[in-house]
Amino acid sequence: MILVGIDVAKDKHDCCIINSDEEFPEEVFSILNNREGYETLYKRICSLAVDFTKVKVGLESTGHYSSNLLAFLLDKHLTAYVRVNLFHKGQSLRRTKTDKIDSRNIAHLLMADSSLKPYSLSSYHMEELKSLTRYRGTKVRERTKLKTSIARLVTILFPELEQLVSSIHIHSIYAMLEKFPGSAYIAAAHLTRLTALLLKASRGRFGRETAIRIRDTARRSIGAVSPAKSMELQ
């Protein structure tokens, strides 16, 4: 069995290749974090093993730094193990940190611990789902923050608007506020232009009557005239 331990870093990865039958001594070397470096590692493995079912590659997981290398190994049909570092916290490795010692310990761990599970296609999909979930969560929080900011600005610039529509957070109202960011701008708007904007943005839901009601209310509004806040709203 050929065992490859890889300590992952930003710019380079330190690797150690050992043989479970001790047919050759431990080989420790570094590769750059680029295509040429990956190919160098692959050629080293190929020079030692014909049957990839007898090759195990362990990566010390360091977040996104290991993603590209892991994808390369899987594309080459090599069996990979990740997050190996979780299993050797008890060693003195972290107290006497050297990457070459790390890579050697990871390689030995592959040989010693038969309970380790390889990184599979389902693991890949799980990581992708986690990534998408985190991304969605970030976007939802951003949207909530923006909606709160818009509501605050509308309260300052045109507080009566919320009483005229079911919600200010709809496409037609956003379109209107983008063009006319405040009661002063809406009050001065040409009725034909305001009507056409609302009619198009609401897909026919809001027409001339709504435009008249909004403009008339804007002309009586207590909303502040603040170019800075209007620009922020836009």
Model pLDDT for residues 205-217, shown as the tens digit of each residue: 999 999 999 999 9
| Ramachandran angles phi, psi of 182, nearest 5° | 140, 160
Q: Are 65 and 7 in contact (CB under 8 A)?
A: no
Q: In the chain, which residues have pLDDT < 70?
A: 22-23, 61-63, 83-101
DSSP for 71-126 reads HHHHHTT-EEE--GGGG-TTSGGGTT--HHHHHHHHHHHHHH-TT-----HHHHHH
Cα end-to-end distance, the chain, whole Å? 63
Model pLDDT for residues 46-60, shown as the tens digit of each residue: 998 889 999 999 987
Q: For residue 62, what pLDDT is reported?
A: 67
CA distance 104 to 14: 9
Residue 51 gets which letter from DSSP? -
Q: What's the whole-model pTM score?
A: 0.64
Q: For residue 110, what pLDDT is reported?
A: 85
Give whole-number Cα distances, 13 to 65, 96, 161, 223, in Å: 10, 18, 59, 60
